[in-house]
Structure 1
Amino acid sequence: MKRFFIALIVFALPLQPAQAWSQYGHETVAKIAHANISDAARAQLRRLLRAAPLIGTPKCPLQNIEDASVWADCIRRDQVRWGYSSSWHYQNVDICKPFDLQSACAGGNCVSAQIDRNFALLKDKALPTHVRLEALAFLVHFVGDLHQPLHAGDRRDRGGNDVRANYGVIPGQNLHSIWDGALAERAISAAPRIVRRFSEQEAAEKAKGTSRDWSEENWALSRDIAYQRAVDGDPCGPKAEQPVTIDEADVAATRAALRLQIERSGLRLARLLEQALI
């Protein structure tokens, strides 16, 4: 009986909040970026991070790039000060209509628009250091967010948040949370090691594109993989009335795509940091 409960706990570990894309995945993206920027860019990064006390978020530290990768989620707990930023983490682009980013980004309140905005702020060396550091933290987080397909595609269900789903031993979840957490963790943890220095050729290939390109890429992945695997059929067919089940076949079918998006996210972030910091 004791062994049974130990096995049960171990099986459930990937589903714990600490392993969600909001932490484990975002930190992995940040580590890939850090491993693929120049020494000069790292030096500028350290200089900006010294301005963290000026931002005034002691409960949401900014001591390194890993802290920066989850800072934007951490500050959301303070709705009075930071509540306006909630809509910046995603863009609800309908997967069952032609790709239309403009309607999902009214007033710049979407993740791709905020990537562009914060990149511009970070690049502007005339701005105060603490303003550029805030932009850095938002940029690091939002590049990661955009590459989670269910932050980029939607079926009038808040990016899968309204789709009830089961995975493993813990029922009563939703499709979005499973993609944020369990599926991302499984993909990241698979061999070979994902955090590494990529060759110039591989980095250039995976880092190419604009925020609009990345938006359409991840919108398509949400339709063709995330939603399609959830319903085992037409992603735009009738919505499931009962909770969908994400099984080991779905894990295997999504692992490569998720892993690639984490790699692309880290390398694209590295490219933006290099351009903005140097």
Structure 2
Amino acid sequence: MRNRCRAGMRSMMAMLFVLLPALAHAWGPSGHRMVARLAENQLDATSRAEVRRLLGILGANSLPEIANWADDMRSDPAQRELSRATSRLHFVNFTDSRCTYDEPRICANGQCVIAAIQRHAAMLGDRSATDRSRAEALRYLVHFVGDVHQPLHAGYRSDRGGNNHQVRFNGKGSNLHAIWDSPVLGSRRLRWNDYARLLERAPISDNTANPIDWAEQSCRISRDKGVYPQGRTIDKAYLDRMRPLAERQIRLAGKRLAKLLERTLD
């Protein structure tokens, strides 16, 4: 009987481990692929050629193919330790609603998405590093730039990026982070590649090159733009209000990722 109980507990823990990673996703797989596609299509010829060369080392042909690797590895038993070691690199927690970056307090030892972007950009641009190391840096960079543009990955509240902010959606319990993972963009009911083509029709201008600024802007969005609803029910009206904001963040992320890759590789 004891053995059966232990086996049952191990099974439950394994299930929990599989379920927990979903709490830390940003945009969902489609959103990350859109960011990658928008960036890829904006690269200059020199950067595009180097990106494709490095993608070949990873067995990939395009940036969207690697955009979700940093999340997907959480469900790979062989990469479980790496997933745990990098889990804090997907977000940054500001200390208050001023949304001001104070590195020693909120990114100690480089454990936040801002430092991760800076670190992997430096590795990608280091021509003395191995091609494999630079290719690994590329796939982290593509993902983390998407992460930092999701407002709930750069918040200041104590609710774990909205994971502990309980809401109801379609008559079922959920949390605000999960709503931003998929339903906000998913309410368009488009495949990600068609969605990316739609967003490309509305180019966006931006000259903000510092990941610190990107994170601070995302934090202010979570504070000012109605991301946190008045009540606890998520309805169609909320999704309709938030979707243009999310789409703008996707477009900004794509443009900024392209410029970052160009600065790093050229």
Alpha-carbon distance between aligned partners in 1 of 2:69 and 2:124, rounded to the nearest angstrom = 16
Alignment of 1:22-41 (within 5 A): 22-41=28-47
Gaps of 5+ in 2: 1-22
- Deviation string for 1:190-216 (max 9, x for gaps)? 9894343776xx4xx325231111111
1:210-249 counterparts in 2 under 5 A? 210-228=210-228, 230-231=229-230, 244-249=232-237
- Corresponding position: 1:99 with 2:97: no
CA contact (8 A) 2:34 2:195 kept: no
* Aligned-partner residue type, residue 159 of structure 1: G
Aligned partner of residue 267 in structure 1, secondary structure: helix
Residue aligned with 1:194, SS = helix
Q: Quick one: distance in 2 between partners of 1:187 and 1:154?
A: 29
Q: Which runs of 4+ in 1 moved over 6 A?
A: none
Cα drift, residue 43 of structure 1? 1.2
How many Å separate the matches in 1 of 2:189 and 2:143? Answer: 17
Asked whether the equivalents of residues 21 and 185 of structure 1 are also in contact (C-alpha less than 8 Å), the reply is: no
- The one-letter amino acid of 2:83's match is W
| Residue 53 of structure 2 corresponds to residue 65 of structure 1 | no
Aligned to 1:273: 261
Deviation at 1:20, TM superposition (A): 7.3
Partner of 1:160: 162
Match of 1:259 among 218, 223, 247: 247
State the 1:27 CA deviation. Answer: 0.0
SS at 2:49's partner residue?
helix
Partners of 2:68 and 2:214 in 1: CA distance:
20
**TM-score of the superposition, structure 1-length normalised?**
0.77
1:206 is aligned to 2:206: yes
94, 115, 119: which one aligns with 1:117: 119
| Structure-2 residue corresponding to 1:81 | 82
Show the counterpart of 1:8: none
* Identical positions, percent: 36
Query: What's the RMSD between the two structures over aligned residues?
Result: 2.7
Kindly tell me the number of residue pairs found equivalent between the two proteins. 237
1:165 aligned counterpart, secondary structure: strand
How far residue 258 of structure 1 moved from its aligned partner, in angstroms, is 1.1
